[in-house]
Every structure is written in structure tokens, then in C-alpha cells.
Amino acid sequence: MTLHQLWFGVLAVLFLGFLILEGFDFGVGMLMEPLARVGSGDPESRRRAVLNTIGPVWDGNEVWLITAGGAMFAAYPGMYATVFSSLYLPLLAILFGMIVRAVSIEWRGKIDDPKWRRWADFGIAAGSWLPALLWGVAFAVLVRGLPVNAKHQVHLSVTDVLNAYTLLGGLATCGLFLLYGAIFVALKTSGPVHDDALRAATWLSLPVTALVAGFGMWTQLAYGKTWTWLVLAVAVVAQLAAVALVLSRAHEGWAFLCTALVVTAVVVLLFGALYPDLVPSTLNPQWSVTINNASSSPYTLTIMTWATAIFAPLVMVYQGWTYWVFRQRISADRIPPSIGLARRAP
Amino acid sequence: MNVVDVSRWQFGITTVYHFIFVPLTIGLAPLIAVMQTVWVVTDNVAWYRLTKFFGKLFLINFALGVATGIVQEFQFGMNWSEYSRFVGDVFGVPLAMEGLAAFFFESTFLGLWIFGWSRLPRLIHLACIWIVAVAVNLSAFFIIAANSFMQHPVGAHYNPKTGRAELTSIVALLTNNFARGAVSHAVAGSLLTGGTFIAAVCAWWMVRSHRGTGDDDARTMYRPATILGCLVALTAAVGLFFTGDTQGKLMFHQQPMKMASAESLCDKQTDPDFSILTVGRQNNCDSLTRVLEVPYVLPFLAEGRFHDVKLQGVRDIQRDYQHRFGPGDYRPNLFVTYWSFRAMIGFLLVPVLFALVSLWVTRGNRVPGQRWFSWLALLTIPSPFLANSAGWVFTEMGRQPWVVAPNPTGDQQVRLTVAEGVSSHAPGVVVTSLVMFTLVYGVLAVIWFWLLKRYVVEGPQEHDAEPAPPTPPGADEIAPLSFAY
């Protein structure tokens, strides 16, 4: 295996780390408002119970994206340059979403005022729905290919970004993250919020299964390799297992792991469909951005391999430890009172 | 407007904006760690209250630093894709390392610190804030090592086959002499910011508390914290002086155009005077009137000697560059480099004066109650922020028109102008994003300022008066939360 090939795998793992962790963060953000409104109990305590399931970890989860971006820059500068300049506007929307979400989560409890919280809740919702949808669109756009010219530049038209396949991709990731988030909330809470999260997962399970299967099938038929059939099969089996576990109200931990496996399989399917291209050219296959023509020099890739081999396992250990420290469930009736300040000084 | 100008404006606005929050993060983190350490070691609850008080201010600020930092990671590819292609092999490495070795530590352990009060054992919880403090400084190292490659490219060569710069030595890249100076300079600037912030906020509270309730918070809590902040700020200022001097001497050799422009030195001169005030009708060498000058300073800044220092002027270097790199305008904006350099130094003096005044009015065992002093404290707070911004505006604008300035003693092919590095967007697209960034960032800045002000004015809170009793996870299935968003 050459370093060019190895780094395709490393990049896939970094994006996988991002989507597998931030996936349920997005789901939690999207479900915060709906879960507060249904069921019994004070909506504000329910909202906070849902939000605090990701409280200590969401920021660390997001670093997987930053690192994936940095690694793409270092390992495949050609890909970094082409992808981010051509998908300028969708990426901008994702960035604004993530900016607004970050400050909303961090600032929400700082002021004890209903209007203030409504704005923060809007920021969290918008900052979760938008990226959840747009990451699916973005990956589908990449797999489908862009009008890359011989100089690896792209002159984009709207239909390159928005078409039936990419929209299905967006809906599939959005739906999958909703289900994933609902199961995560069920795993991390107790009491009425827990029951309602499971109910939400139940409602979501069939439509999400249809969306994921549809998107997976389309990807496989149009862009897949022979071996990715196996990946698609894993995705479908894991999805069905997750649905069965949700419907039977059985072990939530296993349901969560099965959904995480679905996310994994979808990411592997997308990257598998892409390989060995990084950005396939729809104009001429000769012009595609590939792992060979867009990669860094062997020296740089070697350095990056060492850095990743040392730090990535370490990151997994201490992030894993964080999840262990905050392993207990959260209950809406045990949420401490808000310590935010009043809007005006008394 | 062409796409280069709009893209430069966008990069400038997003980056200067990002670096309002970052120095406060980098400077406050180690100082909060110190406060918490003093509390853990001495069990003096005043330091616990200070830790909680500044911890809240730190988190309000940290959120916006992180949020605007996401943009930084991606905008090289978005707006400077030709630059990214040309230098990615080199420049991407420190960026990726920053994520792996700094951001992960910083974000994960900050989450543990925020939610881990009374959950984690005291010493482990203390270790969390120290890890955050080290990690934020490490991230400063990596990103400035990357920036230093743009100022003074080392550890790389030009590969004609791939048509780009390629890394030849990671050690050379990370030990770039420009980077060593720039990192220590930026960290000292951040400590100045953090130290001044703590000193000023506590000085204001010391006066208020002394005049008001008459409780002994002024003496037991605000006074020691003010003194701590002042000592840190003064030490940082000395550090800034020496690191800045090193930087200046390096730049006279590595980027002579930047320094000539900063001194508005237009023609070759032996032992030129240092200019304090220059007025020009146009922003170029032809209309300059040098109003106020002092001898000896400039030769010393450049070479460390007072005599026999020959310095090239902007016009000489322009001729030389045209000869070496072909026709073109290699002069940075004279007005901006000249004044940003002076603004940087000028704004540094304000916190230094404030720190000296503070140490004077708190001398012996005094607790000051003068109103003018508390006003002085508040007025000092913006200065280090402005000095930080001015310094970056100077060093980045002085690099123009280069995005990778040629290294006089390195591979001459490792160079790129800003115009060559830009993505070929339609200007309208970038104008749209520029307007959106300005609006969103503007609103967020207002909220950031208002939140900080609200929390500063409120002071240390009632519920933080005593450390909560430890609540280890135990066997309970439901978490006993001591803090929740």
C-alpha cells in the first residue's frame, strides 16, 4: 500500500470520526425543540436535559472536522483547494450554521431570560439542521463529480450541487442523524424525556430506513464498486437491527451502536465509491482530482503519518475517558436551576 | 473591485476579528490555571471565587474564538485555492498538527473542566485547566509556525515537476527563526492582554468594593488579583520589547521592504533617523513630509548599533525586486504599515502605565478607593487588544504583495504573490460572503461585548461563594449535576 492510498483511508477515518460523533450532536440539536414540546413536564427543563446530553463533549467532537480539514490540506492539497473553492456557497452555509450553533450552546445559559433562550434555541436548531442536511449534499456532490477542468478548477452550475441525487443524500444524512440523535438522547436520559426520545426514534425508524436504503442503493448502483455491495449490506442489516431494537424497546446501547455502524457503513460506502478519485471530473475522467495527482510529497505524507499515528490514538483514549466520566443519564427533574444572570442588572 | 481585493478584505476582517478573542483565551487560560492552583494549594476561597469569576468570562470569550476559528481552517481553500495548491505540502502540516496536538486537547479538557467541578477529584480537575492552558499556547505555536512560512519560507524547496513548494525538513519549518520570535511575541502579547484584563477588572472591583459595602473582598481578593495581573502584564511587556526587537532585526534582513515601509524610509541612507510623525498627501514616497524624528533609534532597531548602519529605502528595494522578480509593484501600503507599527507600540504603553500606577496605589498595604483609578482601569482594557490587532495588521500588510515572501537566503522559487494565490471566484460571490461575515460577526461582537460587560459588572456570584461538596458519580444511574448548560 502506498502512502497515497493509506491517506485516503486516514482521511475517511477522520471524517468518520466527525460524522459518528457530531452526527448525534446534530441530531440532539435538531430534536431539542420537538422533544421539549411533546410529553409532560416543564419544557425548559426538558430542553436543557436534551442539550446537556452533549454538553461536555460537543466541542471536542467538532474538532474531528477541523482536523479532517487540516489533514486534507496537508495530505491532498489539490483536493482541499478544489473542493473548498468550488463548493464555496454550501460550505459557507455550513460554516455559518456551525458558528451560530457554537455560540448558542455556550451562551444560552448565560442569561436567564426566555427571549434570550429563544434566540439561542433558534441558533442551535438552525446550526444543527443546516449542517446535517448540507454535509449529505456535499458528500453526494463529491461522489457524483464536479465539472473539473484540466487545471483542476471548477465552474459550477446550480444543478451540479442541487439535483435529485444530492438532495436525497442531504435528506438521508439529515434523517439518519435525527434517528441517531433520538437514540442517543434515549441512551443518555431517563424519565419522560427518555420515553419520548424512544418514541421519536420509533416514528423516525421507517422513513429513515427508506431514505438511507434509497440513497445507499443509488450510490451503489451509479458509483459503487463490487466490494461496496458488502458495505451496503452491512448498512442495511445494521439499520434493520437498530430499528428492531428501537421497536422492541430493547437495549438502547446496542441500538446506538447499530446506528453508529450505519453511519460508518454509509461513510465507507461514499469513500469507497469515490476511490481512487478525490473529486471525479464530469467533463473528462482524465481531469479528475485523484489520490495520485492531488497528494503531497512522500516526505510530507510520512511526517503526517507519524503525527497521526501518535496523536489520534491518544485523542481516542482521552475522549473515550470523557464519555466515561459523564456516563450517567440525565433527568429533566434533576437539572440544576439556571445560574444565568438577569438581562438587566437589578 | 476585483476578486483579489475583496478576498483580501474578507481574510483581513475574519482574521483580525478572530484574533480579538484568541489573545484573551491564550492569556487568560494559564492565569486561571494559576488562580485555581493557588486555591487548591492554599485552600483560600478568595482564589476559588476568582477562578470561577474569570472562568465565566473566559468561557464567554472562548466560544466566539472557537466559532470564528472554524472559518480560519477552511478559508485558505475557499478563497486562496491557488495558494493552497502551491504551499499545501508545507503549510498544511502545521495546520493539521494544530488540530491533532492542540485543538483536541483544548476542547476535550475544557469540556471536562466546565462540567467536572465537584465531579472530578480536585487535582485531576486542576490538571484539566492546565492542559487547556498548555494546549491553547501550543495551538498558537503551530499556527504561527505556518504563518511564519509565509513571512520567511524555510524547510522547503520548489519542485519544478509539480510546480509547487514542497517540504524538505519539518524541523526547519517548526524551528524557523522567524517563527521562534513571532510565537514568543504573540504569546507575550496574549499574556499582556490576559494580565491587563484581570488587573483592570479587579482594580475596578477593588475600588467599587472598597467604597461600597466596605467588606474585605477589596483587600483579600481584588487587591492580590490586581497585583498578579499587573506583574504578568509588566513581565509580558518586557518580553514584548525583547521579542519585538529580535523580530525587527530579523525582518530588516528577511523582509527589508516591510521595515523600510514601516519607517517610511524612501531612499538609501546611512544612520537614518527614526520617524515619529510623517504626513503625506498621497500614500507614497513622493509626497512625504517628515515632521518629527529622533536619531540613533532606527540604526539600533535594525542592527543593534548606533553608527555605520546602511539601510535600503523603499525605492531602492522596489528597483531591486523588479530586477529580480520582474515588473510589478512590490511596495506595501505605506500609510498602513507606518501607522500600524506605531499604533502597536503606542497601545502597548497604556497597559504598562496602568500597571505601574496600580502597583503604586496598592503599595504597602494600601487599598485604593479613588474613582479616577477605577475609570483608568476600564479605559485601559481595550489597549492590548488594539496593540495585538495593530501588530498583525502591520506584519500581514507589510508582507504585501506577497502571500509567500521570498526568502533572501532560500530557494527563490518558493514565492507567490497574493494575486497569484486567490481563487478565481466572481467578485460578486466573495462580496456576498464578505457582507454576510460582516453582518454576522458584527452582531456576535455586540453580544460578546454585552455579555462580558454584564458579567464583569455583576462580579463574582453568590452561588460561587463556596466550592460545592464533591459529588462523585457513585452508583446512581442519574447524574448529580453541579452545572448544566
Tell me if B478 and A334 make a contact (CB, 8 A cut-off): yes
Task: Give the pLDDT of residue B473.
Answer: 66
Q: What percent of chain B has pLDDT over 70?
A: 98
Of B68, B76, B168, the CB nearest to A99: B68
Residue B96's SS3 state is helix
* pLDDT > 90? residue A287: yes
Which residues in chain B touch residue A331, judged by CB atoms under 8 angstroms apart?
Answer: 478
* pLDDT > 80? residue B255: yes
Task: Give the pLDDT of residue B266.
Answer: 84
Task: Give the pLDDT of residue B475.
Answer: 65
**B305 exposure class (CB count in 10 Å sphere: 0-12, 13-18, 19+):** exposed
Q: What is the DSSP string of B177-242?
A: HHHHHHHHHHHHHHHHHHHHHHHHHHHHHHHHHHHTT--THIIIIIHHHHHHHHHHHHHHHHHHHH
Chain A residue nearest residue B63, CA to CA: A103
Instruction: Please tell me if residue B76 touches chain A, with a CB cutoff of 8 Å.
Output: yes
Q: Report whether B481 contacts A52 (CB < 8 A).
A: yes
Name the pTM for this structure: 0.94
Please give, rounded to a whole number of angstroms, the shortest distance from the CA of B159 to a CA of chain A. Answer: 10
Q: How many CA atoms lie within 13 A of B325 on its CB side?
A: 20
* pLDDT > 70? residue B242: yes
Please give, rounded to a whole number of angstroms, the shortest distance from the CA of B112 to a CA of chain A. Answer: 6
Beta strands in B268-409 (DSSP E): 269-270, 274-280, 288-294, 310-311, 402-404
Angle at A26 between CA A22 and CA A27, to 5 degrees: 115
Tens-place pLDDT, residues B80-100: 999 999 999 999 999 999 999
pLDDT-based confidence at residue B471 (cuts at 50, 70, 90): confident
Instruction: Please tell me if residue A116 touches chain B, with a CB cutoff of 8 Å.
Output: no
The backbone torsions φ and ψ at residue B267, rounded to the nearest 5 degrees and listed phi first, read -130, 155
Mean local confidence (pLDDT), A135-151: 94
pLDDT-based confidence at residue B214 (cuts at 50, 70, 90): low
Q: Report whether A169 contacts A137 (CB < 8 A).
A: yes
Task: Give the pLDDT of residue B261.
Answer: 86
Helices (H) and strands (E) in chain B, counts: 17, 8
Beta strands in A230-300 (DSSP E): 277-279, 289-290
Task: Give the pLDDT of residue B282.
Answer: 61
Mean local confidence (pLDDT), A162-167: 95
Which residues in chain B touch residue A59, judged by CB atoms under 8 angstroms apart?
Answer: 66, 107-108, 110-111
A219 to A180, B24, B171, B458: CA distances (angstroms): 21, 47, 43, 56
What mean pLDDT is reported for chain B? 91
Longest Cα–Cα distance of chain B, Å, equals 79
Tens-place pLDDT, residues A197-219: 999 999 999 999 999 999 999 99
Instruction: Please tell me if residue A59 touches chain B, with a CB cutoff of 8 Å.
Output: yes
Q: What whole-number distance in Å separates Cα of residue A102 and Cα of residue B302?
A: 45
Of B101, B454, B481, the CB nearest to A311: B101
**B contact residues 374-433, partner A, Cβ 8 Å cutoff:** 423-425, 429, 433
Instruction: Please tell me if residue B69 touches chain A, with a CB cutoff of 8 Å.
Output: yes
Task: Give the pLDDT of residue B296.
Answer: 77
Task: Give the pLDDT of residue B303.
Answer: 79
Tens-place pLDDT, residues A5-59: 999 999 999 999 999 999 999 999 999 999 999 878 889 999 999 999 999 999 9
* pLDDT > 80? residue B339: yes
pLDDT-based confidence at residue A337 (cuts at 50, 70, 90): confident
Residues whose CB is less than 8 angstroms from the CB of residue A250 and which lie 6 or more positions away in sequence, other chains included: A244
Tell me if A330 and B111 make a contact (CB, 8 A cut-off): no
Instruction: Please tell me if residue B481 touches chain A, with a CB cutoff of 8 Å.
Output: yes
* pLDDT > 70? residue B479: yes
Closest CA to A136 of A161, A179, A170, A176: A170
Closest CA to B108 of A211, A318, A8: A318
pLDDT-based confidence at residue B4 (cuts at 50, 70, 90): very high
What mean pLDDT is reported for chain A? 94
Task: Give the pLDDT of residue B283.
Answer: 67
State the DSSP H helix or E strand holding residue B14, giving kind and residue range, or none if neither.
helix B3-42
Q: What whole-number distance in Å separates Cα of residue A195 and Cα of residue A186?
A: 7
* pLDDT > 80? residue B215: no
* pLDDT > 90? residue B118: no
Tens-place pLDDT, residues B266-319: 888 887 778 777 776 666 777 777 777 787 778 788 878 777 788 888 888 999
Q: Report whether A296 contacts B445 (CB < 8 A).
A: no
**A contact residues 136-195, partner B, Cβ 8 Å cutoff:** 152-153, 190
* pLDDT > 90? residue B240: yes
Which residues in chain B touch residue A95, judged by CB atoms under 8 angstroms apart?
Answer: 70-71, 74
Cell of A47: 430542553
Least confident of A84-88, B358-362, B481-485: B481-485
Q: What percent of chain B has pLDDT over 90?
A: 69
* pLDDT > 80? residue B48: yes
Tell me if B440 and A107 make a contact (CB, 8 A cut-off): no
pLDDT-based confidence at residue B71 (cuts at 50, 70, 90): very high
Q: What whole-number distance in Å separates Cα of residue B443 and Cα of residue A191?
A: 38
Of B474 and B61, more confident: B61
State the DSSP H helix or E strand holding residue B430, giving kind and residue range, or none if neither.
helix B427-458
Of A74, A96, A334, the CB nearest to B96: A74
Task: Give the pLDDT of residue B365.
Answer: 87
DSSP state of A56: T
- Rg (chain B; Cα; Å): 24
Q: Report whether B335 contacts B293 (CB < 8 A).
A: no
Tell me if A70 and B96 make a contact (CB, 8 A cut-off): yes
Task: Give the pLDDT of residue A207.
Answer: 96
